């Protein structure tokens, strides 16, 4: 099954209405996303907890890395550059951190709060090669803006 971004948007709007706690929002979003698409093998947030440092937040799937510096991996690249990282083959990504040997591709998106401050990254791994597209990047970007910046769609 493939994710229906419009349906997930409606569901998240209903589930998160009035909620401002970032961890609660992350946990709810992860749950909805992880079960919405067969490609999503690991779905989670890494939160900015110190300068240039990400720590694992709410996630679903196997164990993830506990902390990731901005200088390392796909998650670090998304945090450092502020841009979506769409990686079709993680083994070809220089500096990839192999938290799980089953990961073949991933998409990582920066997450900002209402003030535009980077609060973390959304990391979705797949056990399929080239699992993610620009459609996913756009859909996930809209969902993150809806949930964390409270922008309606």
Q: Which two tokens stand for residue 106?
A: 């991933």
The residue with tokens 């569901």 is 11
pLDDT at 61 over 80: yes
User: Mean pLDDT across the stretch 56-83?
Assistant: 95
Q: Is the dihedral of CA 7, 133, 38, 95 positive or negative?
A: negative
pLDDT at 22 over 90: yes
d(CA 57, CA 85): 19
- pLDDT tens profile 78-135: 999 999 999 999 988 877 777 777 889 999 999 999 999 999 999 999 999 999 999 9
d(CA 108, CA 122): 5
| Model pLDDT, residue 98 | 72
pLDDT at 153 over 70: no
Q: pTM for the full model?
A: 0.95
| Model pLDDT, residue 152 | 67
């Amino acid at each position: 099954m493939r994710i229906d971004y419009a349906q997930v948007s409606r569901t998240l709007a209903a589930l998160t209405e009035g909620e401002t706690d970032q961890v609660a929002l992350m946990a709810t979003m992860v749950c909805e996303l992880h079960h919405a698409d067969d490609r999503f093998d690991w779905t989670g947030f890494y939160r900015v907890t110190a300068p240039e440092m990400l720590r694992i937040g709410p996630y679903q799937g196997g164990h993830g890395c506990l902390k990731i510096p901005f200088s390392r991996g796909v998650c670090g690249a998304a945090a450092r550059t502020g841009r979506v990282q769409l990686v079709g083959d993680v083994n070809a990504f220089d500096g990839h951190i192999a938290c799980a040997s089953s990961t073949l591709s991933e998409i990582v998106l920066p997450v900002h709060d209402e003030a535009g401050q980077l609060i973390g990254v959304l990391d979705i791994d797949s056990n399929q090669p080239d699992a993610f597209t620009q459609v996913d990047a756009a859909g996930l970007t809209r969902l993150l803006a809806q949930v964390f910046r409270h922008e309606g769609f």
